[in-house]
Structure 1
Amino acid sequence: MLLPWLTGLAAGIGFLHFLQKLVFPYFWDDFWYLLKVVRYGIRLEMYVLKGELFTVLDKFLSLAKKQPQKPFIIYEGDIYTYQDVDKRSSRVAHVFLNHSTLKRGDTVALLMSNEPDFVHVWFGLAKLGCVVAFLNSNIVSNSLLHCIRSCEPRALVVGADLLGTIEEILPRIPEGISVWAMSDSVPRGVISLKEKLRTASDKPVARSHLVASSLRSTHVYIFTSGTTGLPKAAVITQMQTLKGSAGLWAFGCTANDIIYITLPLYHSSGALLGIGGCIELGATCVLKKKFSASQFWNDCRKYNVTVFQYIGELCHYLCKQPKREGEKDHQVRLAVGNGLRSDVWREFLDRFGNIKICEFYGATEGNICLVNHNGKIGSVGRTNFLHKLLFTFDLIKYDLQKDEPIRNEQGWCTPVKKGEPGLLISRVTENNPFFGYAGNKKHTEKKLLCDVFKKGDVYFNTGDLMVQDQENFLYFWDRIGDTFRWKGENVATTEVADVIGMLDFIQETNVYGVVVPDYEGKAGMASITLKPNKSLDLEKVYEQVVSFLPAYACPRFLRIQEKMETTGTFKLQKFHLVEEGFSPLKISDPLYFMDNLKKSYVPLTKELYDQIMLGEVKL
């Protein structure tokens, strides 16, 4: 009697399992992942309810006591233990305590490349309760000066290799900002932080300095490019830092992993997900000053790397390297990042082995994060009814030519159907806030959409078009507005146009991104008109853009037009220009290409165009 019953039960369970796999194939993957997210959220809420403010810095300090001799950072062969970083950062804190007027809540700007001292200065200032503003190490001149002014720092700390960049703008830095450099040799008006560190104490700093007022208090500023032109300082709170640091753990990383960080620390991926993620795990990271495709796998083998962070371009460059024997001979099991194209994804796995790719999507300042924990090639994440309970977002219809959401007769936005591209928006609530940017409130307000589906609702506008398929996987489609991505960075078209427009022979400039085969993102292109009776000076255009713009923002192509087309609302027309691209076969206007060897723009001939299309000319 018992045996038939057990047989029937087993058959029933087997059928239900088959049915679940058929109808809800991703149910258990989604369930276990979201369970981890909920567990972490409950943990944070418990801290709040108990009145405990346990930050990423607190976690690091506890690890420095618990595992002082464990390697935290490996850099160019040198090992920095948790205790080493703790003591070095305390030295930084004591220097500013004894030789400056910095106090808790003050902002300090940090301009450094990837190096251990980036972390030492960041943590040292955090030990004083200061807010650290991470400056993009690629920006120069007026853009850099704008960033410094916009976050209103009391001090600026500069790495030795970037001291020349600061010297150019030193006379224009506002009074009241003390400039410190991690160098023995400094120009007049700059204080040598390196010299003072030699005699500074490494004793712990009084806890009264570092206790955060709340998890909603600002921890760092991270600069992000937007449609308004110059970079904006996104407010990153203690809570956001904690959430960012949980990413690697959520993807399945452990304390035994060795994480390879080649992404810049001035961005949220490198700093919050990378360094913060290592702290959350109590793991070790291998920090690289700059990504090198030729050295990548050698580094992975040398340091026994098990996890690395990527952007799409990084994997693309690795796939472009000449094939070698033993390319699958490594211990890497996991890669975490974003922007990986489907074709590169497949090639990467085929060539370098069974590495789990964990693609995610999230804006630095945004209130939404999508995660592809299922490994579906090309997808940035997946949604379901459980996910919707935690993160309220929608894809709405968008008019690309008018560059605005489409609203119906009642004035409400309309969700798109599955398979159609729509603008990704995320609802702003008490539990899912948007903290905006430092300084001008207009920048924050411009990122919000109001009265979307009903009166009074507010949504964060990601500026990205997405597509959701029938299985609820989401795929990145394109950027909207006046921003495009190139070399892993956001390029604000208005900033580029303003720089070119400073030339006395330029009448008007229209900047946009164009697709180049086999490249991630879009390359910059500028369509310009000349002032009456003025001639084009291609060498001056080249000198202007390389002097005032970071390398990734310099337009690769120029188009000279007699008249600039505008939309019905008198905005510059970009839509058709983007579609036409840079082909001399389609465009009768004069076209030019940026030639770094000749330090000028040169005519874009059919021969040169063919070389670019075949990948024979590097952009």
Structure 2
Amino acid sequence: MLLSCLTGLAAGIVFLHFLQKLLFPYFWDDFWFLLKVVRYGIRMEKYVLKGELFTVLDKFLSLAKKQPQKPFIIYEGDIHTYQDVDKRSSRVAHVFLNHSTLKRGDTVALLMSNEPDFVHVWFGLAKLGCVVAFLNSNIRSNCLLHCIRSCEPRALVVGADLLETVEEILPSLPEGITIWGMSDSVPQGITSLKEKLSTASDRPVPRSYHVASSLKSPHLYIFTSGTTGLPKAAIISQLQSLKGSAGLWGFGCTANDIIYITLPLYHSSGSLVGIGGCIELGATCVLKKKFSASQFWNDCRKYNVTVFLYIGELCRYLCKQPKREGEKDHQVRLAVGNGVRSDVWREFLDRFGNIKMCELYGATEGNISFMNYTGKIGSVGRTNFFHKLLFSYDLLKYDFQKDEPIRNEQGWCIRVKKGEPGLLICQVKKKNPFFGYAGSKKHTEKKLLCDVFKKGDVYFNTGDLMVQDQDNFFYFWDRTGDTFRWKGENVATTEVADVIGMLDFIQEANVYGVTVPDYEGKAGMASVTLKPNKSLDLEKVYEQVVTFLPAYACPRFLRIQEKMETTGTFKLQKFQLMEEGFSPLKISDPLYFMDNLKKSYVPLTKELYNQIVLGKVKL
């Protein structure tokens, strides 16, 4: 009797397990990840109930006491321990205490490349309660001036390699800004911070200078990448910094991991997820001045890297490197980031070994995030019932021609069905705020959607089109600004770029829409670069797009560039290309037009251009 009962119980357990795998295949993945989220939430609430607002800086200071000799940053072979970084950042704080009028709440702009002093200056100013504005080290001239003016800093700290960049705009800088250079030799009008650091005290700065009054108080300004216009300074609160720092921990990283950071620290992935994530773990990071595909795996082996951060095209750049022996000979187990395509994802795993790719989604200034904790290829994250409780989000039907959500007769927005692309929005509320941008309020207001489903509700507009499948995985589809409408259809630029990129002579493809007189919507245009020692085959390009794309998605125009301009986070720069259009009068690069009669792309001469503009040639 007992034996039959045990047999029946075992059979029942096996059946339930089979049923769970069949009907709820991701139950345990969701369950364990939910437990992590709850644990982190409880920990934060405990600090609040005790009246302690424990920030990322506070966590770092506690680690400097607990593990002073543990390496925090490894840079070009030099080791900077937690204690080293604490003392050097205190020196920075004392320089500004003794030689400036900076006070708590003031903004200081930071223009530096990846180097330990970026962290030292950031933390030193944070110890004084200052808000630090991270400036993109790639921007120049008017764009740099725009960024400086928009965050209204009292001071600007510049890295040694960027002093010439600032020297160019010195006469145009707003009055009252003091400029500090991280070099012994600085141009006139700039004070040497490096010189003063050599004699500054490294004694601890009283916590009263930086203790946070609220987790919603500003900690940083991080600029958007500016792919569709001039950058905006997103306000990053202490709360957002804490959330960002939990990303590596959420994916299973530990204090024993060595994190490789090649992404720019002025971007949230490098600073919040990378540096902040190392602090949350108490781990070590290997900091690289600039990403190098040829040195990447050598560095990983040299420093015993176990985790690396990626964004945009970084993984694709690694896959484009010549194959070498021993490519799987490394200790990397995790890669954390966003933006890797499915085909690159598969190729990367096949070539470099069993590395778990941990995709995450979250705009710098956004109030929603997703994490792909299951490793599902192509997905940016997963949602479930509990996630929906934390983030009140929806996907909306979108009018690409008007560049706004579609509303019904009653004026309310319309949700898409699963499997359909829609605009991702997330409700703004007390537990899930949107902090906006520095400067003009219109930038903040433009990112908000009001009266979405009922009167008075407010949602953050991510500007991203996403698809949610039947298993509740999310997939990035496109940016609303990058998607264009042609022949009454919506064209996804990423889809077109992927098809063109399959050609063996194409190095890079950047697709966008251009305005053509007397045509509704925008015609497709592809700007491409060629692989070294490869020649352009116009007939093959034509055959490729006609074969793999619907007629409305085939680019009408082709532009050949020697070099593709990108942002600091490897996103292709489209704004300038869209402005230049397809005119051979403005563009010196070779231009081509899609000729269906000749079944090829043909040179876009001035005569052909005039015929298109006058409507004598149909598109």
Q: Report the TM-score when normalising by structure 1.
A: 0.83
Runs of 5+ consecutive residues of structure 1 not aligned to the other structure: 485-511, 528-560, 568-572, 611-619
Deviations 1:144-180 (A, max 9, x none): 0010011010000000011111111011011100000
1:520 Cα offset (Å): 10
* Equivalence for 1:576: 523
* Equivalence for 1:535: none
Look up the SS of the partner of 1:602 in the other structure: coil
Contact 1:594–1:602 under 8 Å retained in 2: yes
1:229 Cα offset (Å): 2.5
Query: In structure 2, how many angstroms separate the alpha carbons of the residues matched to 1:267 and 1:520?
Result: 26
What are the within-5 Å matches in structure 2 for residues 80-95 of structure 1? 80-95=80-95
Query: In structure 1, how many angstroms separate the alpha carbons of the residues matched to 2:508 and 2:419?
Result: 22
Query: In structure 2, how many angstroms separate the alpha carbons of the residues matched to 1:396 and 1:523?
Result: 26
* Equivalence for 1:450: 450
Report the number of matched residues: 542
Query: In structure 1, how many angstroms separate the alpha carbons of the residues matched to 2:388 and 2:3?
Result: 43
What are the within-5 Å matches in structure 2 for residues 511-522 of structure 1? 515=497, 516-517=500-501
1:264 aligns with 2:251: no
1:6 Cα offset (Å): 2.3
1:223 aligns with 2:195: no
1:579 Cα offset (Å): 8.7
CA 581–410 in structure 1, closer or farther in 2 if over 3 Å, else same: farther
Contact 1:228–1:443 under 8 Å retained in 2: no
Query: In structure 1, how many angstroms separate the alpha carbons of the residues matched to 2:528 and 2:59?
Result: 50
Look up the SS of the partner of 1:481 in the other structure: coil
Look up the SS of the partner of 1:601 in the other structure: coil
* Equivalence for 1:603: 590
Runs of 5+ consecutive residues of structure 2 not aligned to the other structure: 485-492, 530-536, 543-553, 565-586, 595-599, 602-619
Query: In structure 1, how many angstroms separate the alpha carbons of the residues matched to 2:227 and 2:288?
Result: 31
Q: What is the letter of the counterpart of residue 576 of structure 1? A: A
What are the within-5 Å matches in structure 2 for residues 113-262 of structure 1? 113-225=113-225, 229-262=229-262
Query: In structure 1, how many angstroms separate the alpha carbons of the residues matched to 2:416 and 2:308?
Result: 35
Query: In structure 2, how many angstroms separate the alpha carbons of the residues matched to 1:238 and 1:520?
Result: 41
1:141 Cα offset (Å): 0.5
1:576 Cα offset (Å): 2.7
Deviations 1:389-408 (A, max 9, x none): 11111111001122111111
Deviations 1:394-434 (A, max 9, x none): 11100112211111111111111111111111111110110
Contact 2:244–2:273 under 8 Å retained in 1: yes
1:481 Cα offset (Å): 2.2
* Equivalence for 2:357: 357
CA 215–334 in structure 1, closer or farther in 2 if over 3 Å, else same: same
Look up the SS of the partner of 1:465 in the other structure: strand
* Equivalence for 1:534: none
Deviations 1:276-330 (A, max 9, x none): 0000000000000000000000000000000000114110011011111110000
* Equivalence for 1:614: none
Look up the SS of the partner of 1:34 in the other structure: helix
1:44 aligns with 2:44: yes
* Equivalence for 2:18: 18
Look up the SS of the partner of 1:19 in the other structure: helix
* Equivalence for 2:321: 321
Q: What is the letter of the counterpart of residue 14 of structure 1? A: V
1:131 Cα offset (Å): 0.3
Contact 2:523–2:556 under 8 Å retained in 1: no
Contact 2:158–2:179 under 8 Å retained in 1: yes
Contact 1:131–1:221 under 8 Å retained in 2: yes
Q: What is the letter of the counterpart of residue 456 of structure 2? A: G
Contact 1:312–1:520 under 8 Å retained in 2: no
Q: What is the letter of the counterpart of residue 603 of structure 1? A: P
Look up the SS of the partner of 2:350 in the other structure: helix
Query: In structure 1, how many angstroms separate the alpha carbons of the residues matched to 2:349 and 2:555?
Result: 42
* Equivalence for 1:71: 71
Look up the SS of the partner of 1:180 in the other structure: strand
Look up the SS of the partner of 2:588 in the other structure: strand
Query: In structure 2, how many angstroms separate the alpha carbons of the residues matched to 1:581 and 1:119?
Result: 37
CA 322–482 in structure 1, closer or farther in 2 if over 3 Å, else same: closer
Query: In structure 2, how many angstroms separate the alpha carbons of the residues matched to 1:523 and 1:400?
Result: 19
Query: In structure 1, how many angstroms separate the alpha carbons of the residues matched to 2:137 and 2:5?
Result: 69
Look up the SS of the partner of 2:52 in the other structure: coil
Deviations 1:350-374 (A, max 9, x none): 0000000100111000000011101
Deviations 1:44-89 (A, max 9, x none): 1221222111000000000001000000000000000000000000
Contact 2:72–2:283 under 8 Å retained in 1: yes
Look up the SS of the partner of 1:260 in the other structure: strand
CA 186–255 in structure 1, closer or farther in 2 if over 3 Å, else same: same
Bigger mean CA deviation after superposition, 473-482 or 374-383: 473-482
1:604 Cα offset (Å): 3.0
1:223 Cα offset (Å): 0.3
1:13 Cα offset (Å): 1.5
Query: In structure 1, how many angstroms separate the alpha carbons of the residues matched to 2:60 and 2:555?
Result: 60
1:431 aligns with 2:431: yes
1:5 Cα offset (Å): 2.2
1:203 Cα offset (Å): 0.6
Bigger mean CA deviation after superposition, 349-358 or 384-393: 384-393
1:2 Cα offset (Å): 2.9
Query: In structure 1, how many angstroms separate the alpha carbons of the residues matched to 2:483 and 2:271?
Result: 23
Q: What is the letter of the counterpart of residue 66 of structure 2? A: K
Look up the SS of the partner of 1:202 in the other structure: coil
Contact 2:509–2:526 under 8 Å retained in 1: no
Look up the SS of the partner of 2:589 in the other structure: strand
1:523 aligns with 2:510: yes
Q: What is the letter of the counterpart of residue 400 of structure 2? A: L
1:606 Cα offset (Å): 8.6
Contact 1:319–1:344 under 8 Å retained in 2: yes
Contact 2:508–2:528 under 8 Å retained in 1: no
Query: In structure 2, how many angstroms separate the alpha carbons of the residues matched to 1:310 and 1:285?
Result: 14
1:3 Cα offset (Å): 2.7
Q: What is the letter of the counterpart of residue 366 of structure 1? A: G
Q: What is the letter of the counterpart of residue 376 of structure 2? A: K
Query: In structure 1, how many angstroms separate the alpha carbons of the residues matched to 2:105 and 2:275?
Result: 22
* Equivalence for 1:412: 412
Q: What is the letter of the counterpart of residue 588 of structure 2? A: Y
1:385 Cα offset (Å): 1.1
1:287 aligns with 2:279: no
Q: What is the letter of the counterpart of residue 34 of structure 1? A: L
Query: In structure 2, how many angstroms separate the alpha carbons of the residues matched to 1:522 and 1:195?
Result: 46
CA 483–217 in structure 1, closer or farther in 2 if over 3 Å, else same: farther
CA 434–353 in structure 1, closer or farther in 2 if over 3 Å, else same: same
1:7 Cα offset (Å): 2.2
1:379 Cα offset (Å): 0.4
Look up the SS of the partner of 2:523 in the other structure: helix
1:521 Cα offset (Å): 9.3
1:466 aligns with 2:413: no
Look up the SS of the partner of 2:313 in the other structure: helix
Query: In structure 1, how many angstroms separate the alpha carbons of the residues matched to 2:527 and 2:321?
Result: 31
Look up the SS of the partner of 1:51 in the other structure: coil
Contact 2:509–2:528 under 8 Å retained in 1: no
Look up the SS of the partner of 1:124 in the other structure: helix
Q: What is the letter of the counterpart of residue 90 of structure 2? A: S
Contact 2:525–2:557 under 8 Å retained in 1: no
What are the within-5 Å matches in structure 2 for residues 272-283 of structure 1? 272-283=272-283
* Equivalence for 1:348: 348
* Equivalence for 1:3: 3
Q: Report the TM-score when normalising by structure 2.
A: 0.83
* Equivalence for 1:311: 311
* Equivalence for 2:549: none
CA 384–157 in structure 1, closer or farther in 2 if over 3 Å, else same: same
* Equivalence for 1:498: none
